[in-house]
């Protein structure tokens, strides 16, 4: 009997020792697993970090260096300090490009409002809305290069648009859209800043409106609220973040991603009437071979984009608060 009690005590002591060992080993195991996960994560993102450094940060740093030289793409770097910047601020093309870029930004509200209204109409149960959704998004599939060529042909003095006006007896509306500076710039803003935003914007807002609680609309209908009231007091507040995001993306598209469309649409002409900062960088650097001078322009464009991004981020945070 005493032997059985001794065996029981020994087993209990062994069990307690094992339990203490397990408890002390568990934190070390968790720490080891966490360390292994961190190593695996670092191993997985290392290729991306290398590519980011090689293709983004290194070119960005090199561009800042080139902006203080008169480098033409070959030969040794000749340091000239801030001469490129002083020349740029006295260059008529620079101020014309800034002006044109700002004018393009004025088309953003219309490029956001039209897709917003179309999305609301389609979501409201418009008959055949699936067909209209596909037709509206179709231009996005073609790409900016092809669309630029299409609208270049469409807006020529002998193009389809003027032919339609003449057939309809509206000869006064048949204008030389691409060879008059103001008309060319307004045409660029209308097509690139508004028309090309409709497809993506409509689909994007349709997806955003799909997350709005349908009971809110039902309650508003019971209270007698009309379409516009529901749109203004329910839809807009519910997708405010999505609207702000599209505005930010539209600013980026107009400031720093319009080159491919402008190149095939108007080639920056007539004169400098459709030159933006981005397009002027191309002509200065790759057409005129003034890499250092073009780098100075790109530095200014970088700071303009940074300021706009910071302002918009702070505005979005302020709205959230």
Q: Output the domain CATH number for residue 156.
A: 1.10.3720.10
Mean pLDDT across 308-312: 80
Q: Tell me the residue range of the domain where 173 lies.
A: 83-320
**Residue 4's pLDDT band (cuts 50, 70, 90):** very low
pLDDT of residue 17: 60
Which DSSP string corresponds to 67-92?
TTB---SSS---B-TTHHHHHHHT-H
pLDDT of residue 104: 92
Q: Which of 12-16, 19-23, 195-199, 218-222 has the highest mean pLDDT?
A: 195-199
Q: pLDDT digit string (tens) for 35-83?
A: 777 788 888 889 889 999 998 889 888 889 999 998 887 878 889 989 9
pLDDT of residue 2: 45
pLDDT of residue 5: 47
- Number of domains into which the chain is organized: 1
Mean pLDDT lowest among 126-135, 166-175, 248-257, 267-276: 126-135
List alpha helices for 124-231, DSSP H. Answer: 129-142, 144-154, 160-167, 181-190, 196-209, 214-222, 227-230
Is 63 a member of any domain? Answer: no
pTM, to two decimals: 0.80
Is 6 a member of any domain? Answer: no
**Number of alpha carbons in the 13 Å side-chain half-sphere of residue 289:** 4
Q: pLDDT digit string (tens) for 250-283?
A: 888 888 889 999 999 999 988 899 999 999 989 9
Strand partners of residue 79: 69
Is 190 a member of any domain? Answer: yes
pLDDT of residue 225: 80
Judge contact between 185 and 274, C-beta under 8 A. Answer: yes
d(C-alpha 77, C-alpha 66), whole Å: 8
Is 9 a member of any domain? Answer: no
Q: Which of 31-40, 299-308, 309-318 has the highest mean pLDDT?
A: 299-308
pLDDT of residue 3: 41
Count the Cβ atoms, other than its own, within 10 Å of residue 232: 12
Is 21 a member of any domain? Answer: no
The yes-or-no verdict on residue 28 having pLDDT over 70 is no
């Amino acid at each position: 009997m005493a032997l059985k009690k001794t065996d029981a005590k020994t087993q209990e002591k062994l069990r307690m020792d094992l339990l203490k060992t397990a408890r002390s080993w568990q934190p070390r195991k968790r720490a080891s697993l966490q360390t292994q996960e961190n190593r695996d994560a670092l191993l997985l993102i290392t290729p991306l970090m290398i590519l980011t450094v090689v293709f983004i940060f290194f070119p960005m740093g090199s561009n800042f260096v080139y902006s203080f030289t008169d480098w033409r793409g070959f030969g040794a770097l000749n340091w000239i300090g801030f001469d490129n910047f002083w020349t740029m601020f006295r260059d008529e093309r620079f101020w014309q490009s800034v002006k044109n870029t700002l004018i393009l930004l004025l088309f953003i509200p219309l490029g956001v409002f039209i897709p917003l209204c179309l999305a609301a109409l389609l979501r409201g149960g418009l008959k055949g809305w699936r067909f209209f959704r596909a037709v509206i998004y179709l231009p996005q599939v073609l790409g900016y290069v092809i669309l630029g060529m299409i609208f270049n042909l469409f807006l020529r003095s002998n193009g389809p648009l003027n032919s339609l006006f003449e057939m309809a007896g509206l000869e006064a509306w048949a204008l030389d859209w691409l060879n008059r500076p103001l008309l060319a710039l307004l045409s660029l803003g209308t097509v690139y800043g508004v028309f090309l935003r409709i497809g993506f914007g409509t689909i994007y807002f349709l997806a955003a409106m799909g997350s709005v609680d349908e009971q809110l609309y039902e309650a508003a209908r019971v209270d007698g609220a009309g379409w516009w009231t529901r749109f203004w007091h329910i839809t807009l507040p519910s997708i405010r973040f999505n609207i702000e995001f599209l505005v930010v993306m539209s600013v980026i598209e107009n400031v720093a991603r319009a080159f491919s469309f402008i190149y095939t649409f108007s080639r920056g002409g007539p004169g400098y009437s459709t030159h933006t900062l981005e397009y002027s960088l191309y002509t200065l650097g790759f057409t005129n071979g003034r890499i250092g001078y073009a780098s100075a322009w790109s530095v200014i464009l970088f700071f303009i984009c940074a300021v706009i991004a910071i302002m918009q981020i702070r505005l979005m945070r302020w709205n959230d608060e």
